[in-house]
Every structure is written in structure tokens, then in C-alpha cells.
Amino acid sequence: MSEPRVFLPGSTVGVMGGGQLGRMFAIAARRMGYRVHTFSPDEDTPTGQLADREVAAAYDDEAAVRDFARGIDVLTFEFENIPSQTVAWASEECEVRPSGRVLHTCQHRLREKLFLVGAGLPLPRFEQIESEADLTHAVAKLGTPCVLKTAAFGYDGKGQTKIDGDTDLAATWARYEGTPAVLEAWVPFAREISVIVARSAAGQTVSYPVCENQHAHHILDLTLVPARIAHDVAARARQLAGRVAEALGLIGILAVEMFELPDGEILINELAPRPHNSGHFSFDASITSQFEQQLRAVCGLPLGSGELLRPCAMANLLGDLWANGEPDWAAAAAFPEVKIHLYGKAGARPGRKMGHLVAFGADPAEAASRVVAARHALVAGR
């Protein structure tokens, strides 16, 4: 078996996708002396604003994809919902990390869950749904409440419906018909947590401290690090994340979202084989950020330390904050232990992730209080 290829500083790394995850990856890559090219259907993207080259073309444009891939040394991703054919075209022209197989698994809930079952990893009970009859049978089997989710292209709560005892199943399925779905048993969790884990081409694995995540309207609102959980629960969560990365044969970065149950049991919720919103804290608070770690992994370099430098908390900045004009950035900057990150997006709209704040404290609770206060100050004067 040949040694995995190594791409040293000076090489050109391609990123499929043009959002904020690619933007922060580009910052890390350029700091380490790499060239960055980005490919997405849009122009003047958050990633493109910092890349050496921005290509705006459709993912199904074979000629454009191949031309882009020929101009780079290694390709990685800032989101997983890239068509399999696109990845296949690129893989014929350059190194692709993580592999198309990893993306194919993680971009579809049913494939992802079947992979986890096959790997012997813990997850909530679920049923595959392809018809109203399937849904009726599955609800009777799993009980209510439960959650119906589209099998593909669901994020931030999109394509999800909670089902209770009085839910009209026929009307619910009418909104999904023709779309494969998954019914998940309701999980009475104590908290939502996640672990960011990296795995290199040589098989080295490094995980980050467990993140404690709080959501609002199905969108991540706050992340506290380290999570306020027992040491043994944290150790098991990090071990589980490592097992997932190994089972996938991952080369890159992976977020493993999990539920902690009241008894300390852990169930895996979802996987994301790229940097993750809950890992943004690492840009400021870790020895090696998740973005630099992704770069190291896909380029074949040894991985860096994921050690946390100080307790911290991250707060998302959604477009809602712009409803009555530009937020008061000076007010947030007046908090000396708060860092401001903006993504360069031109149009703010409700629910759109426009940036985030990171605050430090003596413990995660103090950091969370500080970051929430800084976010409130952005609009307090209006």
C-alpha cells in the first residue's frame, strides 16, 4: 500500500462551497502559506472574498468542475451536500479528501443511520419512511412524540415535523410524499453536545473538548466549551467521535452531534464531515482551530493539538439582528474579552448566519453570560 500523498505549504487547496466555513478555512490555509481556490454557484462568496481564485459555476457543469480540479492539488469541502457525480469528476483530476464515499454516507440521513448501526454505534431508534402506510406503522411502533425528517438536504430544522398523538398523519405525509424520510423516536435528552474530531491521511486522530449546544428555532444559538458534563461522559463522547471517524475512514474533520440522556447515556444524532458551527470557538480558543486541523488533515500533515486555552462560549449572529439597521459593533467591541467574526455576506435576512461572537471567562457559564450580553448590546441602543 502506497504512502498517502502530502501537500506542503505552497500547494493549492480547493474548497467546494463558498460559505463561512470555507472563509475561515481560507484564513487558516493562507496563514500557513497555501493557495486557496473555491468553487460554488455564486460570486463574491464569503470564501471567494479570501480565495486566490473563485470559480462560479454549477456543480453539474462537468467541464467547469474538471477544469477547477486540474488547477488544484487537493480538494476538500465546506459542506457535504455536493452531488456524487461532481465529486467523481473531481477525483479523476486531483486528490479528494474526505472521499466521495464519506460525503455520500453523511449527506443522507438513512444512509448515515444505517452506517452507524452497522458500525455498532449508539443512536436513537428510527424507521425508514416511503409511504403514508410506512408512517402510520412506524408511529405505532416508535410511539409519540416522534420526529419525521427528510432523508436528504435537511439542516437547521428544515424538513422536520414533530408528530404527536393527535397529528394528522395523512396531511403530514402529503408534505413529504415523493421524498424519502426517516422517522426518529423522541429523545428526552438532558443536553445536546457535539465533538469535533480530525483524522489524518496517516490515521492519526485528534478530538476537541466536548461542546454543549443550545438551539433556538432549530438553529444553534450558543455553544459552551467545555460542556458542563461529567468527566466520564465527556471521555465517552470523545471516544465515540473517534470511533465514527475510524469507521468512516475519514481524512479531514468531522462533527459528531450527540444527545446526553439524563442517566449519562450518549446517543449519536447527526454527522457532518466538515467544520461545524459548534466548533467555531476553536478559531480563538484552541491551540489548533478546526479549520487549521482540516487543512493539516487533508494535506497529510501531522495534526495539531486540540487543547482548549480558556473556557469560552460562542453565540451565533443571525440576520434578525439587522432588522432595524446595522448592529452597533462598537458596543460589542467594548467587551474586551469578546471576539467578533463577520462572514462578509451582503444580505441579512431572518435566520441567516451572518457571524458569531466568542467570549472567554473563568468558566463556561461566565463566558456564556458575557457573550449573550455582548450580543444584546448590538441592538440595545435601537
Structural domains present in the chain: 12-96 (3.40.50.20), 125-185 (3.30.1490.20), 191-380 (3.30.470.20)
Q: Rounded distance, CA 44 to CA 161, Å? A: 34
Cell of 290: 478546526
Q: Which of 168, 166, 127 is nearest to 149 (CA)?
A: 127
Rounded CA-CA distance 275/197 in Å is 10
| pTM, two decimal places | 0.95
DSSP string for 285-341: HBSS-HHHHHHHHHHTPPP----BSS-EEEEEEEGGGGTTSS--HHHHHTSTTEEEE
What average pLDDT values come out for the chain (382 residues) when binned by 10 residues? 88 97 98 98 97 98 98 96 95 97 94 97 96 95 95 70 94 88 96 98 96 95 98 98 98 98 97 97 98 98 98 98 95 97 94 97 98 97 68
Q: What distance in Å separates the CA atoms of residue 8 and residue 300, rounded to the nearest whole number?
A: 8
| Alpha-carbon gap, residue 5 to 272, rounded angstroms | 24
- Cβ-count burial 341-351 (b if 16+ within 10 Å, e if not): bebebeebeee
Indicate the pairing of strand 53-56 with strand 35-40: parallel
Where do the DSSP E strands lie in 30-180? 35-40, 53-56, 74-77, 95-96, 126-129, 146-150, 160-163
Residue position matching grid coordinates 460554488: 40
Return the pLDDT at 158. 65
HSE toward the beta carbon, residue 114, CA cutoff 13 A: 11
